[in-house]
Amino acid sequence: MHPGISAEELVRQEDSEHYLRIAISEAIEDTLANENTRYCLGSVLNHVLMHQTVVGLEAKKQFEMLDAYPDLAIGCIGGGSNFAGFSFPFMMDKLQGKKNTEFIACESKAVPHTTRGVYTYDFGDTAETTPLAKMLTLGHKYACPPIHAGGLRYHGMAPLISYLINKKYMRSVAYTQSEIFEAAEILARTEGLIPAPETAHAIKCAIDEALACKKTGEAKVIAFNSSGHGLLDLSAYEMFLAGKLKEFEPAKIEVPKYVK
C-alpha cells in the first residue's frame, strides 16, 4: 500500500492498473504482517454504511428546515457507503410506510455491478482474504476498466444496498463517461462548481429526472448527494473537452458462484 494515500486516489489516473479490490487485499496483507497496524475499511461493509448515515441525517434536518421532503434521492455508487449514508435515513421512512421516496443509485457502464451484476456470494478483494458477502457483483476477478471515476471502480456492491436493489426498494442506472462529463459541465457552467467524476453520475441522473418532470409537468423535489469536487480531475475534464475520452463497456460478464 502507499502510505497516506486512499484507495480511491490509487485508482484515479486513467492509466492506473490499481483497483479497489487489490488495495483491500494489500491493506489486509500489511495489517496481518505488522502487530501495530490496524485496518479500517472505508466502504462496502454494512457497519460502514451505517456510520456514513450522519450525512443523510443532516440532509433530513435541512429538509425539515425547508418544510420539504425529497421525492427522489439520488447518489453515485462504488462500494455503496456514499449513497447509503445519504439515502438510508430517508429509506427508513419508506420502509415504515411514512413516505414513498424513489431511490436511484448511479454507476458507470464500465463497471455495471448492480445493473448487470449477479446477486450472489463473493469476496470483497482479489486475494480472497475477506469473508464471503452476498452482494450484486461482477466477480472479484473483474478487471475494472480505467475510467476517471476511480471511486466507482469496484466489482461488488455493499450487501445492504444490494438487498434493497434486489427487492426493488431502489433502482440503479448506468452511464458512460461522456454522459456524466456533459452533466458535470452543465453544473460547472451554471453553478460554478466542478464536481468529481463520481458525483457527476448523480448529477446526470438528477438532470434527466428534472427534464422528465419538465416534459410531464410533474412537480418533484429532487435531492442528489454532491459527494466530491473535481479539482483533482481537471485532466479528465481536459480530455473530455478535447473529445479524447475513451468509453468502456463489457460485452460479456461471467460471475463464478461460490455458494449455491
Q: What is the pLDDT of residues 166-217, one digit of tens each?
A: 999 999 999 999 999 999 999 999 999 999 999 999 999 999 999 999 999 9
Q: Is 1 inside a domain boundary?
A: no
Q: Is 63 inside a domain boundary?
A: yes
Pairing of strands 102-108, 72-76: parallel
CATH of the domain at 46: 3.40.50.1100
Q: Is 85 inside a domain boundary?
A: yes
Q: Is 131 inside a domain boundary?
A: yes
Burial 63-89 (b: 16+ CB within 10 A, else e): eeeeeeebbbbbbbbbbbbbbbbbbbb
Q: Is 247 inside a domain boundary?
A: no
Q: Which of 4-18, 42-56, 78-92 has the highest mean pLDDT?
A: 78-92
Count up the domains in the chain and report the number.
1
Q: Is 258 inside a domain boundary?
A: no
Q: Is 254 inside a domain boundary?
A: no
Average pLDDT over residues 6-27: 55
Q: What is the CA radius of gyration of the chain?
A: 18
pTM for this structure?
Answer: 0.86
Domain of 26, in residue numbers: 7-241
Q: Is 46 inside a domain boundary?
A: yes
